[in-house]
Amino acid sequence: MKKYPRHIFFFLFWPFIASIISFWFQLDIFYSSLTFLAVPAVYLSFLLPKMVKKVAIFSILSTVPFSITIDYIAHYTNQWQVLNGPFPRFLGYVSIEDVIWVVFFSFFAIMFYEYFIDFSRKRNIWNPRMKILAGFTWGLFLLFLALYFFFPTALNIPYFYLVAGLLFLVTPSIVELLRRPKLLSKFILVIFYFFFFALIYELTALKLGQWTFPGNQYIGWVQIFGLQFPFEELFFGFLFYSTIVLVCYEAFDDDEK
């Protein structure tokens, strides 16, 4: 990170600035996500213009079908609820704002990693291994659609946040890091940064009523400044989401070095 010291200050202060802007204008989830995520993503796009297409393709292809599946079941089972988004719900439950959030978060995390840590600057837009990841995410989406149309009660999964987090975030992250332990030393600063970033964003969103956690199927609660959210959000959302983004990027679209 020593190579570009002047730019890191923007990213360290940005979550605080984005929080102030969100409170000042009382932003809903859509405009707040653009403030928190799209602004630094655009900033990084100017710093790394030759990586934009590659990272954008990865972020859209790997997250959109997956996030639709997860978001539908999470809303259906009351694991979380988006409260003030401007868009109608897809399939009755899916928050379009959540899907946009996931794409921007993934793009931001990878561009941050490439600029400050990886320095690979690979120009190939498409890695053949992406077919594996795309096959998995779209296969999962097709399975979801089959259950949605023919066996909808099967989507009522108890403790869904816990189950999905362990299955799709923790397990593949640990497997890949055991295969390539050197990657952890590259990921660790990015993971710490996005943990800090996600915490500020979470507290801002809860205070503004952008989302909530109305269910009771969680393993515990975290309370900070009078606001509370499930332990699953802290562990999976703050810690392991950025980890799985980097793991999938290195495993399927980069060089695992």
What are the beta bridge partners of residue 20? none
Q: Tell me which DSSP letter residue 212 carries.
A: E
**Full DSSP string of 25-92:** HT--HHHHHIIIIIHHHHHHHHHSGGGHHHHHHHHHHHHHHHHHHHHHHHHHTTS-EE-S-SSPPBTT
Is residue 129 within 8 Å of 252, Cβ to Cβ? Answer: yes
Entry pTM: 0.93
pLDDT (tens digit, 9 = 90+) per residue, 96-128?
999 999 999 999 999 999 999 877 655 677 778
Residue 19 φ/ψ, nearest 5 degrees: -65, -45
pLDDT (tens digit, 9 = 90+) per residue, 18-66?
999 999 999 999 999 999 999 999 999 999 998 999 999 999 998 999 9
Q: What is the pLDDT of residue 4?
A: 57
Q: Does the pLDDT value for residue 148 go beyond 60?
A: yes
Q: What is the CA radius of gyration of the chain?
A: 18
Q: How far apart are CA 248 and CA 136, in angstroms?
A: 12
Query: How many distinct helices (H) and strands (E) make up the chain?
Result: 11, 4
pLDDT (tens digit, 9 = 90+) per residue, 150-194?
999 999 999 999 999 999 999 999 999 999 888 888 899 999 999
Q: Tell me which DSSP letter residue 230 carries.
A: E
Q: What is the pLDDT of residue 127?
A: 77
